Amino acid sequence: MEERPTLETIRRAPKVLLHDHLDGGVRPETIVDLARDGGYTDLPTTDPGSLRTWFAEASNSGSLERYLETFSHTVGVMQSAESLTRVAYECAEDLAKDGIVYAEVRYAPELHTSTGLSLEQVVEAVLAGFAAGGRDHGIRVGTLVTAMRHQARSMEIAELAVRYRDEGVVGFDIAGAEAGYPPTRHLDAFEYLQRENAHFTIHAGEGFGLPSIWQAIQWCGADRLGHGVRIIDDITVENGAPELGRLAAYVRDKRIPLEMCPTSNIQTGAAKSIAEHPIGLLRQLSFRVTVNTDNRLMSGTTLSEEFAKLVDAFGYGWDDLRWFTVNAMKSAFIGFDERLELINRVIKPGYEELKQG
């Protein structure tokens, strides 16, 4: 009889992470160090343990807008090339230690220029950290450059994504408060990326509902959806029989990947609890669901912990965890050959071994 996955065995499973923010996963010890070195004096506490607790508690507001306020402290200490390289290096190390074999980590270059770095310097500093961290710790990390949806710099950021596409930037994203900032505000950037054959995902269906998902896909041409949880609003279940509306059916038929982040969704109010998270139904209906962390610091989590919570809530076994992982690898923004190689050479044998016990 197959053993139920535990946190300890899940940590050993080869995993793939598509939705993780660089400024949402900084080690508290590093924040304290960088604040001291860079003269940042606004931290709520300089004790790393208390700071960890502070982030998790301050992020539990039930509102995306308030959740996002805590980022001022991580972004505040990531304003030099050295700090960006260090944070990226440590991110690669932390993800590798959690058993992640491939990750796409995103951040908004425009938030890291307040002491004079150019957008290019920001990108290069982050790429240097991931290159070194990836080499030292045996993980492949691609980056996504994010534009803030309430700002007007998406075209510049999209151009960065194209300019650095052969250096490790694998795609583009927009993030920030969703209500009031529809994806079509940035249509020119998305159209440019499509003409350049570049990849992008859009945070949609988290702080706002179906219109945001619809625009992201049908107007902007998103390859993936960041969260996309509210696609559930287009699914009705009557007498146990689920019925998909046209948008939900399109998302499923087209195999559009959903980058789901269970703990983060509870903190921002996009889902009530893990047990009631739409991921359960979406998995049953075979949407292309992937499991992600969003912000490891704010959510006090790791990818292994997200999986372990789902195992507890939905009784998932190794085949389910492998399915989520293969979905994520198939949906990554790197080339088909590389994805296939990781699936066949690393992921499938890794889960087979764990299944045997």
Ligand X SMILES: O=c1[nH]cnc2c1ncn2[C@H]1C[C@H](O)[C@@H](CO)O1
Q: Does 21 engage in binding with ligand X (CB under 6 A)? A: yes
| Residues 157-176 interacting with ligand X (rule: CB under 6 A) | 175-176
Which two three-digit tokens encode residue 284? 């049953």
Q: How far apart are CA 221 and CA 285, in angstroms?
A: 23
**Stretch near ligand X under the rule CB under 6 A, chosen from 55-63, 102-110, 229-237, 276-284:** 102-110
Q: What are phi and psi of 172, to 5 degrees?
A: -135, 160
Query: Which residue lies nearer to ligand X by CB, 182 or 350?
Result: 182
Of 311, 309, 332, give the one whose Cα is nearest residue 320: 311
Task: Supply the residues annotated as catalytic.
Answer: 206
The span from the CA of 184 to the CA of 306, in Å, is 31
Distance CA 327, CA 71 (A): 29
Q: In the bound complex, what is the minimum distance in angstroms from residue 146's beta carbon to ligand X? A: 5
Binds 108, which of Zn ion, ligand X, none (CB < 5 to 8 A, cut-off by type)? ligand X
Of residues 202 and 354, the one with the C-beta less far from ligand X: 202
203 is in an annotated binding site: yes
* Closest CB to Zn ion: residue number: 294
For Zn ion, the binding residues in 291-310 under the rule CB under 5 A are 294
- Binding test (CB under 6 A) with ligand X, winner from 80, 154, 215, 264: 264
Q: Closer to ligand X by CB, 264 or 327: give it.
A: 264
Using CB under 6 A as the binding rule, whether residue 322 contacts ligand X is answered as: no
Q: 19: annotated binding-site residue?
A: yes
> Which residue stretch of 50-58, 104-112, 232-240, 329-337 sits at the interface with ligand X (rule: CB under 6 A)?
104-112
Could you say which of Zn ion, ligand X, none residue 23 binds, taking C-beta under 5 to 8 angstroms by partner kind? ligand X
Binding segment for Zn ion among 1-9, 236-244, 287-295, 337-345 (CB under 5 A)? Answer: 287-295
Binding of Zn ion by 98 (CB under 5 A): no
Residue with smaller CB distance to Zn ion, 294 or 305: 294
Interface with ligand X includes 266 (CB under 6 A)? no
Nearer to Zn ion, 88 or 144 (CB): 144
For the segment 131-150, give every residue that binds ligand X (CB under 6 A).
Answer: 146
Give the number of residues in contact with ligand X, rule: CB under 6 A. Answer: 19
List helix spans (H) across the chain.
7-12, 28-38, 48-58, 64-69, 71-76, 81-97, 119-137, 154-163, 187-195, 210-214, 246-253, 262-267, 279-284, 303-314, 318-331, 336-342, 348-356
Q: What span, in angstroms and rounded, lies between the C-alpha atoms of 220 and 338?
A: 27
16 in Cβ contact with 101 (< 8 Å):
yes
Cβ of residue 266: shortest distance to ligand X, in angstroms? 12
Polymer length of the chain: 357
Q: Which residue from 2, 6, 4, 1 is spatially nearest to 308, judged by alpha carbons?
A: 6
Nearest to 46 by CA among 59, 61, 34: 34
Nearer to ligand X, 146 or 325 (CB): 146
Q: How far apart are CA 301 and CA 310, in angstroms?
A: 13
SS3 content of the chain, % helix, strand, coil (to 5): 55, 15, 30
Q: What is the CA radius of gyration of the chain?
A: 19
Pick one of 55, 71, 102, 130: the residue that binds ligand X (CB under 6 A). 71
163 contacts: CB under 8 Å, gap ≥ 6: 120
Q: Kindly indicate which of the ranges 18-26, 55-63, 324-332, 341-349 contains the residues binding ligand X, using the contact rule CB under 6 A.
A: 18-26
Which of the residues 182 through 211 are near ligand X (CB under 6 A)?
203, 206
**In 10 A of CB 353, how many CB atoms?**
13
- Positions in the binding site for ligand X (CB under 6 A): 21, 23-24, 64, 68, 71, 75, 106-108, 111, 146, 175-176, 203, 206, 264, 294-295
Annotated binding-site positions: 19, 21, 23, 176, 203, 294
- Positions in the binding site for Zn ion (CB under 5 A): 294
